[in-house]
Amino acid sequence: MSDGAGSTRADGVTTLGEIAHAALVADGFQPELDAVAAAELGSLQAEPAGGKATAHVEAGVRDLRALLWSSIDNPESRDLDQVEWTEQLGDGSFRILIGIADVDSLVRKDSALDRHAMANSTSVYTGIRVYPMLPLEISTDLTSLNQGEDRAVMVIELVIASDGAPRSHDVYRAIVANRAKLDYASIGAFLEGQGPLPALVASTPGLEAQVWLQDRAASLLGRQRDAAGALDFETIEATPTAKDGKVESITITRKNRARDLIENFMVSANVAIAQILAERQRSAIRRVVHTPKRWSRIVDIARGYGAELPVEASAKSLSQFLASRRAADPTRFADLSLAIVKLLGPGEYVVDRPGPADDQGHFGLAASDYAHATAPNRRYADLVTQRLIKAALLDAPAPYTDAELGTIAAHCTERENAANHVERIVRKAAAASLLAHRIGAQFEAIVTGVNRDGTYVRLISPPVEGRVMRGQDGMDVGERVTVRLIATDERKGHVDFEGV
Distance between CA 64 and CA 172 in Å, rounded? Answer: 11
Residue segments in the chain with a per-residue pLDDT below the cut of 70: 1-14, 48-51, 55-57, 242-246, 248
For residues 55 and 57, what is the distance between their CA atoms, to the nearest angstrom?
6
* The pLDDT of residue 8: 40
Please tell me the distance from the alpha carbon of residue 377 to that of residue 395, in angstroms, as a whole number.
Answer: 25
* CATH superfamily, with its number, for domain 429-499: Nucleic acid-binding proteins (2.40.50.140)
> What is the C-alpha separation between 14 and 491, in angstroms, rounded?
7
The radius of gyration of the chain from alpha carbons, rounded to an integer in Å, stands at 23
Cα–Cα distance for residue pair 136/144, rounded to 1 Å:
10
**Closest by Cα among 235, 240, 237 to 431:** 240
Q: What is the pLDDT of residue 3?
A: 36
Asked if 444 and 331 touch (Cβ cutoff 8 Å), the reply is no
- pLDDT of res. 17: 84
Q: Where are the domains of the chain?
A: 16-278, 295-345, 429-499
Residues 6+ apart with CB under 8 A from 430: 16, 127, 128, 240, 242, 247, 250
Report whether 458 contacts 338 (CB < 8 A).
yes
pLDDT in tens, 101-141: 999 999 999 999 999 999 999 999 988 789 999 999 999 99
pTM for the whole thing? Answer: 0.90
CB 96 within 8 A of CB 217: yes
Please give the pLDDT value at position 84. Answer: 98
Residue-level pLDDT at 118: 98
Cβ-proximal residues to 203 (8 Å cutoff; 6+ apart), any chain: none
* Cα gap 459→448, rounded to integer Å: 10
> Which pLDDT belongs to residue 12?
37
